[in-house]
Chains A and B, each alone.
Chain A
Amino acid sequence: MNLDFSPDELAFRDEARAWLAANVPAEPLPSMDTADGFAAHQQWERRLADERWSVVSWPEEFGGRGASLVEWVIFEEEYYRAGAPGRVSQNGIFLLAPIIFDHGTADQQQRWLPSMATGETIWAQAWSEPEAGSDLASLRSTATQVAGGWLLNGQKTWSSRAAYAHQGFGLFRSDPAAERHRGLTYFCFPLDADGVTVRPIAQLDGEAGFAELFFDDVFVPDADVLGDPGDGWRVAMSTAGNERGLSLRSPGRFCATADRLLDLYASVLEPVERTSSSAAVVDAWLRAEAYRLYTWGTVTQLAGGGDIGAAGSVNKVWWSELDVALHETALGLLGAEAEVASSWTDGYLFSLSGPIYAGTNEIQRNIVAERILGLPREVRG
């Protein structure tokens, strides 16, 4: 048992740290959920990609460095410690790309991955529907087979980044006779295709971080089906596994926030706020530290050929509640200034979505109880 990095890993860390120190924009970029901010974040992705820092864990032929899982976690830690911008390409590079690597054809990999790595093409997910949230398998949007492809109809919602993104990916019911997890197919489609209507939805912060998508006989060629028709649920669950698991939420972001929380604590001179917040500051810091160490345990298991499985749900509840706690504690320290818009209020509003997206924490607790503790399944209606 040890927590020591190899000389190669240390060299990788130093290289990443030096590059980030020299290249991270001094001023924060505008919100990625505005037209200007979206473009600025795309430019930043281009800059990362030029030096092959945008997708370090991908193979070199697709713009990565073939970095190991340990190196990827190291990179993430350095990335957030350097205060680098949020990743506008996140849904593509972390959620969709693993599916394309596992299930995509060589043609699909060539067509989609390089432009995803450079940030030229930004991808948005299309999972939820108005009547299919936590119960995703009840989705009703349809795909009807026609010559050379499929026609998509229906409605998707809460599609992150879709207001400005270029491509979408999601599940549609391709076999109307099949029920729930069967008869679903995984499609990739341009958001400017004929028949697609994107209606941006302003989030709690007033910006269009997600959108509703309406499909009216949208033609998608067979070449843009990911995996086999009818096999979409199985294909998608590897995305869900990733989204709920390690890859989306490396500890870097939370550790960096915990460090900034300490900075804030040290700068607060109001004795009342300091005294009443000090326990919360310590607890938030140690929960971030626990997450960092827990991740090294997970990385060790994955490197040894294990998989995350239902432990991804343990993970998700922890980081999402940690993120809220970090920001609530910071706002507590700010006293009367907490109301004034700042990076802390931005982060706070963003943190509030964590317990909801990527599988609500109620669903995650069910998974922990049923798959890890082995409790009887809920009676389902």
Chain B
Amino acid sequence: MKFTLTDEQSGFARSLDDLLSRADSVAANRAWAAGDHEPGLKLWSRLADLGVGGGGRGAPPPGKRTPGGGGRPPRAHLRGPGWVSGGGPPAPPPPTPVEIGIAFEAIGRHVVPGPWIESAAYLPLARTDVDLTESRTTVAMPYAVDADVADEVYALVDGELHTATAERRVTSIDPSRHLFTVTAGEPVAHGDLDAAYDLAVLATAAQLLGAGERVLADSVAYVKQRTQFGRAIGSYQAIKHQLADARIALDFARPLVFGAALELTPRSVSAAKLQAAEAANLAARVGLQVHGAIGYTEEYDLSRWLLRIRALQSAWGTASFHRERLLASLLADQSLSPSK
């Protein structure tokens, strides 16, 4: 029983955070929203090189993942560069679910654009027969995110995976997510689509957690320096208690997200998504409120997270869907219980 990140896992989180802090991910997000994909795609390859998956130069062929495989040996490449060059040390294995959680928390914290959930979480499990590691992929759920920059587009038809073609652009509340309707094509061989879905839900939950953490951190920094009536507004209890509630909600979302990474069951990922979405939404509402009107502007960067958080609330399963699924799983267990 050791329910904290290992040193290697913390190191992975730090290296992602360092990379993204230096990379001006907000500018990449804004450019992406305006239709200029270049900075976002640069960021894409650098993240992929760190082992996030989805088309890095040295990314490995997808192997069989082992859900709950938190105990895998540390990834040597995280300790130093070099593995990406040809002929160097062997390519690393695909990320474990815990590493997916870490990576997507960073993606949320830095509001990174692009079809990451689809490329790094869903399709590597959904299509195990072909090597998608050199590809950026997306899948209609029900809209295909960023199909305009995807090498391959998929859709689900009656529980089967099909190729698909992007059709019509639909405007998302988050301008950095370019949504498309699709027309399904031919069916293709697929892996465990349920497991793929659950990993994508986990990635979404982790991204919400990271986005919520960022909004809270930026809001705390803001209320410390903003003064009204001669005092920092962060000294007023009305402000403090709202931010404390956001802190508490996020603190209890985190164990559900990483618990789900270890367990990777429909029940655990649904619980993670529900609490992460609720906590991130609370952080967003409180963050906006304590910023006041400046937080309501397009220009101020807080807006990027507010819109991302709202978009992810309903992506990869709405709250109603996940509540249904969680309740069904709890009741199924109950009917099996010997005491009933």
Contacts and interface: CB of A to CB of B under 8 A. Distances in A.
Interface stretch (A107-115, A152-160, A289-297): A289-297
Contacts of A266: 331, 334-335, 340
Contacts of B271: 286, 289-290
B310 interface: no
Contacts of B232: 375-376
A323 to B, nearest CB: 14
B247 A314 contact: yes
Nearest to A306: B4
Interface string B322-340: 0100110011001100001
Given A282-B274, A294-B252, A375-B234, A369 B244 contact: yes
Interface residues of A, number: 50
Contacts of B18: none
Contact of A278 (B4, B248, B327, B340): B327
A296 B245 CA distance: 21
Contacts of A4: 1
Interface string A251-288: 00000000000110110000000000011011101110
A293 B259 contact: yes
B251 interface: yes
A317 B251 CA distance: 12
B235 A377 contact: yes
B1 A372 contact: no
Given A262-B334, A281-B327, A283-B274, A318 B252 contact: yes
A375 B223 contact: yes
* Secondary structure class of chain A's binding surface, majority of residues: helix
Given A3-B1, A374-B220, A282 B327 contact: yes
Interface stretch (A168-176, A235-243, A360-368): A360-368
B3 interface: yes
Contact of A3 (B3, B327, B335): B3
A18 B252 CA distance: 32
A307 interface: no
Interface in B302-330: 320, 323, 326-327, 330
Contact of A2 (B71, B243, B247): B71
A320 B138 CA distance: 43
Contact of B253 (A9, A290, A291): A290
B240 interface: yes
A378 interface: yes
B143 interface: no
A6 interface: yes
Nearest to A366: B240
A287 B248 CA distance: 12
A279 B318 CA distance: 13
A299 interface: yes
B262 A2 contact: yes
The 6 closest A-B pairs by CB, nearest first: A293-B255, A369-B240, A368-B244, A376-B235, A365-B244, A296-B3
Given A1-B6, A290-B255, A375-B234, 9 more contacts: A1-B2, A285-B330, A286-B274, A296-B3, A301-B4, A365-B241, A373-B243, A375-B235, A375-B240
